[in-house]
């Protein structure tokens, strides 16, 4: 059940207008349920001013009158959990206070809060260490630590972390709305802080986490001099749900933005927005990571990038768009994984890539369009199945298979209106099986084969291309005009040219 913070009840003097002010752990883009939810907690005739305090977007407000007919609904509808937020915010952190703190004498101090929570602060490295046996929320950690220059609440639900946060094996940290709606990680021209789960557990639920430059009062948009990041490694578990993780990471190992690394590290990320990170999200040698229902956009490089022997991954129902390289990529030994029902579009290079040893993977039911190179690219990878995808309006081929890729199956895809070929087999691609694809209205060739030992089986529908099927290889594969429908192409339905 959703939680809402009732900030205040108010009445306009002399105007006869009443209402409640509600702080919601929702960003603007996720505030669609606002009217219905508030109708269940407001009285008849109230005007409701909803202050959207959550999410990474600028805070804003929306107001609307509730009809008096809502009285009956209010009387019978279930009421969401209501939590009263503090009426006053603690004093804001200052750059001067943070600077004085970071310049203190090198020492370690252990702190125990009233709740028994233990936290250790290492001034030498400016690191808060949560140790084995501790399971804490961010507010509880702040109370135990008692160092507002390192971690403090700036306003109800808005926090600044000005020290590194390290979660040891056997420890747990939860960053969750409504207590933490937004967490700002100090990151500027003089340095940055990070969050690392090193064998421990990190949970982020409903919160917005960004880098933050206090001098500019803005996110850190410059990744060239380093930038805050979040990392789970060495057997850690990181789960992220209904969150927003933005403007994180830079070009260094383990620091790409939001990452899971090394054997026995696990977790999931779902219903989360990742924007303007160096990599949207990254995995290295990780088994079983679930990436579901996220939006990953405007990454400097890749959107979703499991790498180097990551395996048994589930990547489904995501949107990857406007990333600086590929939208989704499995690379260098990623295997036995599923890429299903994603939308990958408007990325600078390919939409979906299987690269250099990405074997035994399923790419199914995706919609891939408007990418700067190919829609789906299979490169030096074997025994993958590419089926039931819709691929259109990409700058090169819709689906490209090449560079020693072997034993891949491309079946039952709909491929149309790509700016070069529909499906292209080239650069030593071998033993590729094409079956039952709909390939239409591509600028150049419907199916283009430039490498030997591939098979074009039956049940294709190929039409409206310049050339339906172009076999530029010897010996050319057999193409049955009885089991395939190849028709109404502009120059030829079938052309065979031996090199």
Under 8 Å between Cβ of 123 and 108: yes
Read off the pTM.
Answer: 0.81
Give the pLDDT of residue 36. Answer: 52
How far are the Cα atoms of 284, 335, 337, 492 from residue 331, in angstroms, in the given order? 10, 9, 12, 37
Reported as a single tens digit per residue, the pLDDT across 126-178 is 999 999 999 999 999 999 999 999 999 999 999 999 999 999 999 999 999 99
Out of 2.160.20.10, 2.60.120.260, 3.40.50.2300, 3.90.1150.10, which CATH number does the structure's domain 148-496 have?
2.160.20.10
Helix (H, G, I), strand (E, B) or coil at 384: coil
Residue indicated by tokens 């703190």:
101
Q: pLDDT exceeding 90 applies to what percent of the chain?
A: 75
> How far is the C-alpha of 441 from the C-alpha of 319, rounded, in Å?
25
- pLDDT digits over 14-62, tens only? 334 344 434 433 433 344 444 455 545 555 444 443 333 345 654 333 3
pLDDT classification of 118: cutoffs 50, 70, 90: confident
User: Which carries the bigger pLDDT value, residue 404 or residue 10?
Assistant: 404
**Helix or strand run (H / E) with residue 204:** strand 201-205
DSSP sequence for 245-305: EES---SSTT-SSEEEESTT-EEEEES-EEES-SSSEEEES-BS-EEES-EEE--SS-SEE
Mean pLDDT for 264-276 is: 99
Q: How far apart are CA 295 and CA 259, in angstroms?
A: 16
The pLDDT of 66-90, averaged and rounded, is 34
Contact 32, 52 (CB under 8 A): no
Q: Rounded to 5 degrees, what are φ and ψ at 417?
A: 55, 35
What pLDDT sits at residue 108? 56
* pLDDT tens by residue, 416-427: 999 999 999 998
**Separation of CA 140 from chain center:** 28
Distance CA 268, CA 260 (A): 10
Can you give the pLDDT at residue 115? 58
β-bridge mates for residue 298, sequence order:
none
> What residues does each domain of the chain span?
3-84, 148-496
Q: How far apart are CA 161 and CA 155, in angstroms?
A: 13
Once rounded to an integer, what is the mean pLDDT over residues 404-410? 97
CA angle 186, 192, 194 (to 5 degrees): 85
Q: How much is the pLDDT for 74? A: 33
| Beta strand 182-188 pairing with 191-192 | antiparallel
Q: Which pair of tokens denotes residue 226?
A: 């380093």
- Residue 349 CA to residue 328 CA, distance in Å, equals 10
- Residue of higher predicted confidence among 77 and 19: 19
Q: Tell me, what's the pLDDT at 450? A: 95
Cα(227)–Cα(231) distance, rounded to whole angstroms? 13
Output the pLDDT for position 87. Answer: 28
What are the tens digits of pLDDT across the range 348-395?
Answer: 999 999 999 999 999 999 999 999 999 999 999 999 999 999 999 999
Position 72 scores a pLDDT of: 36
User: What is the rounded average pLDDT for all residues in the chain?
Assistant: 84
State whether residue 36 is helix, strand or coil.
Answer: helix
The CA-based angle 392-398-401, given to 5 degrees, is: 160
Q: Which of 56-65, 205-214, 277-286, 428-437 has the lowest mean pLDDT?
A: 56-65
Which residues are bridge partners to 456 per DSSP?
Answer: 434
Q: Between these two residues, 65 and 119, which has the higher pLDDT value?
A: 119
**How confident is the model at residue 439, as a pLDDT?**
99
The pLDDT of residue 427: 82
**Phi/psi at 305 (nearest 5 deg)?**
-135, 80
Place of tokens 């982020």: 204
Q: CB of 180 within 8 A of CB of 207? A: yes
**C-alpha torsion sign, points 478, 482, 486, 492:** positive
* Helix (DSSP H) and strand (DSSP E) numbers for the chain: 4, 51
Give the helix, strand, coil percentages of the chain, each rounded to 5. Answer: 5, 45, 50
């Amino acid at each position: 059940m959703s939680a809402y913070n009732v900030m205040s009840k108010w009445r306009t003097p002399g105007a006869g207008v009443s209402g409640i002010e509600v702080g919601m752990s929702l960003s603007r883009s996720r505030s669609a349920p606002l009217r219905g939810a508030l109708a269940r907690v407001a009285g008849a005739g109230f005007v409701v001013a909803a202050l959207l305090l959550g999410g990474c977007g600028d805070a804003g407000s929306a107001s609307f009158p509730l009809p008096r007919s809502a009285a009956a609904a209010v009387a019978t509808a279930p009421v969401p959990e209501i939590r009263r937020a503090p009426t006053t915010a603690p004093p804001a952190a200052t750059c001067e206070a943070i600077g004085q703190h970071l310049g203190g004498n090198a020492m370690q101090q252990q702190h125990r809060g009233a709740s028994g929570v233990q936290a250790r602060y290492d001034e030498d490295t400016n690191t808060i260490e949560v140790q084995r046996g501790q399971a804490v929320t961010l507010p509880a950690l702040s109370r135990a630590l008692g160092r507002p220059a390192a971690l403090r609440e700036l306003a109800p639900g808005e926090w600044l972390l000005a020290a590194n946060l390290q979660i040891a094996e056997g420890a747990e940290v939860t960053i969750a709305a409504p207590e933490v709606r937004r967490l700002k990680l100090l990151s500027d021209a003089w340095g940055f802080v990070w969050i690392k789960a090193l064998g421990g557990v990190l949970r982020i639920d409903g919160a917005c986490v960004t880098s933050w430059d206090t001098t500019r009062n803005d996110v850190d948009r410059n990744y060239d001099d380093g930038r805050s990041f979040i990392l789970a490694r060495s057997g850690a578990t990181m789960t992220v749900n209904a969150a927003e993780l933005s403007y994180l990471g830079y070009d260094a190992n383990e620091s790409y933005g939001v990452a899971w690394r090394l054997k026995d590290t696990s977790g999931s990320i779902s219903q989360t927005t990742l924007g303007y990170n160096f990599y949207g999200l990254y995995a290295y040698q990780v088994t079983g990571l679930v990436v579901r229902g996220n939006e990953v956009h405007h990454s400097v490089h890749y959107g979703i990038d499991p790498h180097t022997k990551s395996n048994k991954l589930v990547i489904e129902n995501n949107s990857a768009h406007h990333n600086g390289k590929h939208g989704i990529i499995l690379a260098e030994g990623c295997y036995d994984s599923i890429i299903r029902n994603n939308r990958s579009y408007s990325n600078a290079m390919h939409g979906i890539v299987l690269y250099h040893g990405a074997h035994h993977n399923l790419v199914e039911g995706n919609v891939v369009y408007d990418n700067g190179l190919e829609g789906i690219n299979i490169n030096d990878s074997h025994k993958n199945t590419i089926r039931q995808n819709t691929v259109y309006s990409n700058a090169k081929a819709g689906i490209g298979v090449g560079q020693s890729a072997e034993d891949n199956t491309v079946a039952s895809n709909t491929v149309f209106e790509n700016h070069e070929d529909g499906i292209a087999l080239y650069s030593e691609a071998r033993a590729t099986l094409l079956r039952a694809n709909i390939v239409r209205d591509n600028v150049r060739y419907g199916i283009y084969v430039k490498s030997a030992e591939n098979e074009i089986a039956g049940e294709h529908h190929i039409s409206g291309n310049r050339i339906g099927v172009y076999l530029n290889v010897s010996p050319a594969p057999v193409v049955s005009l009885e089991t395939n429908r190849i028709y109404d192409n502009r120059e030829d339905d079938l052309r065979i040219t031996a090199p």
